[in-house]
Structure 1
């Protein structure tokens, strides 16, 4: 868990204003799905307790970002970024295999795809796969070489750039 935390902070530190960016991160309740928020027991916190937790996390992220940014400068940016790619995706570089729940009607920018595992992904590029109508189609989502994620459905070679929204 600590390495995932450091990987996320490292990448934020590489940005021109890493600390400022870290301090602007959305609160936990916006970063988690409602189910994840409940499963972690965070829905039981009062508004003041939740605000205090979010403030602590923001401060911690800022402190860790400064440390990681200094390490990144020492080790060389390219090497560190390559080693830690996928940080925006919860530290995981493992491909996701599931099915798209319900009907799949092809790719289109801005479309949302709900997977059987509960994840929701939104297409961010203009890839197109028109005329397709498949029910509960198999899907593979894999990390890209320099960040980002790519979705491909069973039986088709077209890939679409996606980002997880839930």
Structure 2
């Protein structure tokens, strides 16, 4: 159950909690030992996670309300909105690589923070979608027409 500790740092979200078995790959689910839970234990775990999400959502909403956050701060610290960002990269997209920055047509700048790589690509002004993770505060950038996605953080 120690692996569940990684699931606790929840950020505000405006959607229902997916079941844990839908959020993890089978390999992750098995590595965490969750495959050994009875259906009743798994249902109890999902109920508990859903309750944690609701509590953390309420806390995040109150913090955002107090800080007077605005919608255009998506992906930034204490942002109020967890709505996906749809846009276009300005200039050429040459693939993913840790540390690369991606400037969108709306002025936002996102930097890749994981090791996902996508090489041999050159695409001018591709459409992108940046979506928040279900649990936690991570954001993921995907490029239209490619299956890979990179973990990113907003820097501007």
Give the equivalent residue in structure 2 for 1:44: none
Instruction: Please tell me whether residue 133 in structure 1 is matched to residue 122 in structure 2.
Output: yes
Give the equivalent residue in structure 2 for 1:144: 133
Instruction: Please tell me whether residue 119 in structure 1 is matched to residue 108 in structure 2.
Output: yes
> What CA RMSD, in Å, does the superposition of the two structures yield over aligned residues?
2.5
Instruction: Please tell me whether residue 165 in structure 1 is matched to residue 137 in structure 2.
Output: no
Give the equivalent residue in structure 2 for 1:79: 54
CA deviations 1:22-72 (Å, max 9, x no partner) are xxxxxxxxxxxxxxxxxxxxxxxxxxxxxxxxxxxxxxxxxxxxxxxxxxx
Cα distance 1:101–1:152, how it changes in 2: closer, same or farther (>3 A)?
same
1:160 offset after TM fit, Å?
A: 0.4
Count of aligned positions? 93
> Which consecutive residues of structure 2, in runs of 5 or more, have no partner in the other structure?
1-10, 12-50, 62-74
Computing the radius of gyration from Cα coordinates, the structure with the larger value is: 1
Cα distance 1:80–1:127, how it changes in 2: closer, same or farther (>3 A)?
same
Match of 2:80 among 91, 94, 99: 91
1:82 offset after TM fit, Å?
A: 4.8
Contact preservation (8 Å) 2:76, 2:155: no
Matched residues in 1 for 2:78 and 2:152: separation?
12
Instruction: Please tell me whether residue 156 in structure 1 is matched to residue 146 in structure 2.
Output: yes
CA deviations 1:65-95 (Å, max 9, x no partner) are xxxxxxxxxxx75532255497836111111
TM-score normalised per structure 2: 0.53
Higher helix share: 1
TM-score normalised per structure 1: 0.50
